[in-house]
Structure 1
């Protein structure tokens, strides 16, 4: 079983990001979601596709079981058409800082305006020195989970 341990943050208002090491264009569609479980299909740069199943831990939204499998791009496109939810479209900027790899997602379309920085960690209690551009932590706020954004896009929030 795969385990994902991830913390999520908003950016500090007015902060500048360092240069990205890599930029990926992603779109994903959820085919099932509920009770802490989600099944999604993700396309990366229209060249790679993955089927992912996630199950949230009861203790923390930072810890989830995760199973991810490569699938043909053509299959992913067909499966995306079956989704009853909004597609989550984003541009991911990967920023490497020492041993850490930050993934900063700039959401597009229905979630335009939302920017979330994610950091995968080896353990829940791993010590992390946060860069100056990191703001409020939103790890345990379910609204910032991608599957939540597929059901309740950022554009519908009362900001």
Structure 2
């Protein structure tokens, strides 16, 4: 399955007033190679294993495969992950006809807020909320696999 998305930095937290749902996420990487990443994630009381391929040149499209796994197995797999575990709270906001997923990072990445929105195609035009600061699509510095080894506190 192809994932087509754009990423942005949020300039403030006014999106919290529009949040429909929020949940805690912990995730780590079993493999963070530039060619592919293998991620383990817990989201509330569920576990997931995700494999992502390399992004295209624009950074908007890449292969993604995700499978729900038992929560206790995800907890055990997190113990095998590289470097450290990413902690974040994901907020879901509906704006216009799009769902925006806003990740507010904690721990070593505290202060970083990344917004993702999935698209139907790479050239789709979307209306952006006023709490968006700048686009960071394709900038590997804002990939979760990057900040799991190069935390925001060290930037």
The TM-score normalised by the length of structure 2 is: 0.94
Structure 1 residue 27 and structure 2 residue 56: aligned?
Answer: no
CA drift at 1:97: 1.7
Whole-Å separation in 1 of the counterparts to 2:24 and 2:13: 23
Whole-Å separation in 2 of the counterparts to 1:125 and 1:58: 14
For structure 2, list consecutive stretches of 5 or more residues without a partner in the other structure: none
CA drift at 1:36: 3.1
Whole-Å separation in 1 of the counterparts to 2:87 and 2:126: 28
The SS at the match of 2:129 is coil
The number of residue pairs the alignment matches comes to 154
CA drift at 1:15: 6.3
- State the Cα RMSD in Å: 1.2
1:1-159 equivalence runs, <5 A: 2-12=1-11, 14=12, 16-17=14-15, 18-45=17-44, 47-157=45-155
Deviations 1:63-106 (A, max 9, x none): 11000001011111111001122111100010012320001110
Structure 1 residue ranges, 4+ long, deviating more than 6 angstroms after superposition = none
